[in-house]
A and B are shown apart, each in its own frame.
Chain A
Amino acid sequence: EPEVTQTPSHQVTQMGQEVILRCVPISNHLYFYWYRQILGQKVEFLVSFYNNEISEKSEIFDDQFSVERPDGSNFTLKIRSTKLEDSAMYFCASSEASYNEQFFGPGTRLTVL
């Protein structure tokens, strides 16, 4: 069964450093998403991406964040200058169409020291 994959599974970084989280969505899906879950809190939407552009973003997704689909398979989330409060599980998701269910990857645990 096709699935969303994410790398790395765990990323540790120093405050102020840049990180890139990588995702490979399901191959025939056209819509891509990033969510995050801070420990003990809800899963929160960050951004959705379609047709090589951001279709929607939350207030969390400020200028420190960017997304890119550099090739036909990868979808990345970059945090330019990490802060302590960026420590969270980051989940990538994809869907076939905008109205379909979203399928999630296993997540990347980001720890900012």
Chain B
Amino acid sequence: DQQVKQNSPSLSVQEGRISILNCDYTNSMFDYFLWYKKYPAEGPTFLISISSIKDKNEDGRFTVFLNKSAKHLSLHIVPSQPGDSAVYFCAARSGATNKLIFGTGTLLAVQP
């Protein structure tokens, strides 16, 4: 099931710089997208979401951009902090269902 893809398994960024995490999807029925952060031995923590009727949603240091024509979304973290180091999962849902389809995750390392 490759409906949601995160092609970068890892990303390393300097503290204070921007982190950009990318996600692609194939199912045009998806209408709601979420980003979760996960630390080892913990469950996914909800970060930010976006509906398909929008192209941008911002919450503090986190901004999610959605490009429906490209079936692509990205999470921007500015400025990046060492505490942001974690695995970031993109997830998607279609209106017909409650289930979330997850990507494989991107391990973000923010270097002090």
Q: Which residues of A are interface residues toward B (Cβ below 8 A)?
A: 4, 6, 31, 33, 35, 41-45, 48, 55-56, 58, 91, 93, 95, 98-99, 101-107
Instruction: Using A55-B98, A56-B97 as known contacts, say yes or no to A43 and B42 having CB atoms under 8 A apart.
Output: no
Complexed CA–CA distance, A58 and B1 (Å): 12
- Interface size (B, Cβ < 8 Å)? 22
Considering only CB atoms, which chain B residue lies closest to A9 in the complex?
B41
With a cutoff of 8 Å between Cβ atoms, the chain A residues found around residue B105 in the complex are 42
Instruction: Using A42-B103, A42-B104, A91-B43 as known contacts, say yes or no to A104 and B36 having CB atoms under 8 A apart.
Output: yes
Cβ-defined contact, A45 with B101, below 8 A:
yes
Interface class of chain B by DSSP: loop
Within the complex, the shortest CB–CB distance from B98 to chain A, in Å, comes to 5
Cβ-defined contact, B43 with A98, below 8 A:
no
Cβ-defined contact, B102 with A31, below 8 A:
no
A101: which of B1, B34, B41 is its contact (CB, 8 Å)?
A: B34
Cβ-defined contact, B102 with A43, below 8 A:
yes
Within the complex, the shortest CB–CB distance from B5 to chain A, in Å, comes to 10
Task: Name the segment of B22-30, B44-52, B72-80 touching the other chain.
Answer: B44-52
Cβ-defined contact, A42 with B102, below 8 A:
yes
Within the complex, the shortest CB–CB distance from A39 to chain B, in Å, comes to 12
With a cutoff of 8 Å between Cβ atoms, the chain A residues found around residue B41 in the complex are 106-107
Instruction: Using A99-B32, A101-B34 as known contacts, say yes or no to A43 and B99 having CB atoms under 8 A apart.
Output: no
Cβ-defined contact, A45 with B99, below 8 A:
yes
Interface string of B63-97 (1 = CB under 8 A from A): 00000000000000000000000000101000001
Asked whether any CB of chain A lies closer than 8 Å to the CB of B11, the reply is no
> Can you name 6 A-B residue pairings with CB atoms under 8 Å?
A93-B43, A102-B46, A104-B44, A104-B46, A106-B42, A107-B43
